[in-house]
């Protein structure tokens, strides 16, 4: 625990360089809670009159942090899989997770954050529409598949990604 606390400050400073709009005191607050259970979070939220945002941070931390350590530690973890684990989490939870993760997981996450924070998706909804693909739920699936390919290195550039979409989804 003490070692994790010493990593929170530097993690916050690095996170500030990569993202804006996160509450650094919420990162420290998670450390003070020491991984409460979801049931404890509910009582804690009421006793401390936490805002909705604070409740969400504490809830996500309690639900996901312990299990994510195990998932992130798995060898051969694809960047797209890491993206699916981390992207739904609030930045404060991501930062706390990064600071308190075991060394090997911290290294993976550091590479991930640097890569994903600067990521511009190569294919967007407008591109799909221009290809004649009718708007709808299918867009979400296609865009996620293309993003996975981009993150995992399946495509080298936008042109390859667009060609794959045309080949796979345009009739």
What percentage of the chain carries pLDDT values higher than 90?
Answer: 37
pLDDT at 113: 86
For residue range 67-94, list pLDDT tens digits in order: 788 888 888 889 999 999 898 999 999 9
171/125 Cα distance (integer angstroms): 17
For residue range 12-53, list pLDDT tens digits in order: 998 888 877 788 899 988 888 867 777 888 888 888 898 999
Q: Using DSSP, state whether 108 is helix, strand or coil.
A: helix
32/17 Cα distance (integer angstroms): 24
Mean residue pLDDT of the chain comes to 88
User: Could you tell me the sign of the dihedral formed by the alpha carbons of 154, 158, 161, 163, in that order?
Assistant: negative
pLDDT value at 3 more than 70: no
Sequence spans of domains, the chain: 2-117, 125-169
120/49 Cα distance (integer angstroms): 38
Mean pLDDT to the nearest integer, 101-125: 87
Classify burial at 65, counting beta carbons within 10 Å of its beta carbon; exposed 0-12, middle 13-18, buried 19 or more: middle
141/147 Cα distance (integer angstroms): 10
158/146 Cα distance (integer angstroms): 10
Contact (Cβ atoms closer than 8 angstroms) between residue 75 and residue 107: no
pLDDT value at 2 more than 70: no
The domain defined by 2-117 carries CATH number 3.40.50.2000: no
When pLDDT is cut at 50, 70 and 90, the band that residue 154 belongs to is very high
What percentage of the chain carries pLDDT values higher than 70?
Answer: 96
Smallest CA-to-CA distance from 112 within 71, 56, 70, 72 is with 72
Higher pLDDT, 5 or 100: 100
pLDDT at 38: 76
Mean pLDDT to the nearest integer, 138-152: 95
């Amino acid at each position: 625990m003490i070692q994790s606390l010493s990593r929170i400050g530097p993690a916050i400073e690095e996170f500030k360089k990569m993202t804006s709009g996160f509450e650094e005191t919420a990162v420290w607050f998670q450390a003070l809670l020491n991984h409460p259970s979801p049931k404890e979070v509910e009582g804690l939220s009421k006793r401390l009159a936490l805002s909705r945002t604070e409740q969400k941070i504490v809830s996500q931390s309690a639900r996901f942090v312990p299990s994510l350590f195990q998932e992130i530690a798995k060898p051969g973890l694809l960047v797209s899989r890491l993206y699916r684990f981390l992207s739904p989490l609030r930045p404060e939870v991501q930062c706390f997770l990064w600071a308190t993760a075991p060394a090997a997981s911290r290294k993976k996450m550091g590479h991930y954050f640097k890569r994903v924070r600067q990521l511009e998706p190569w294919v967007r909804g407008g591109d799909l529409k221009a290809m004649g693909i009718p708007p709808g739920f299918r867009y979400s699936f296609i865009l996620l598949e293309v993003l996975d390919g981009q993150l995992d290195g399946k495509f080298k550039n936008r042109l390859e990604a667009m060609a794959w979409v045309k080949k796979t989804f345009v009739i």
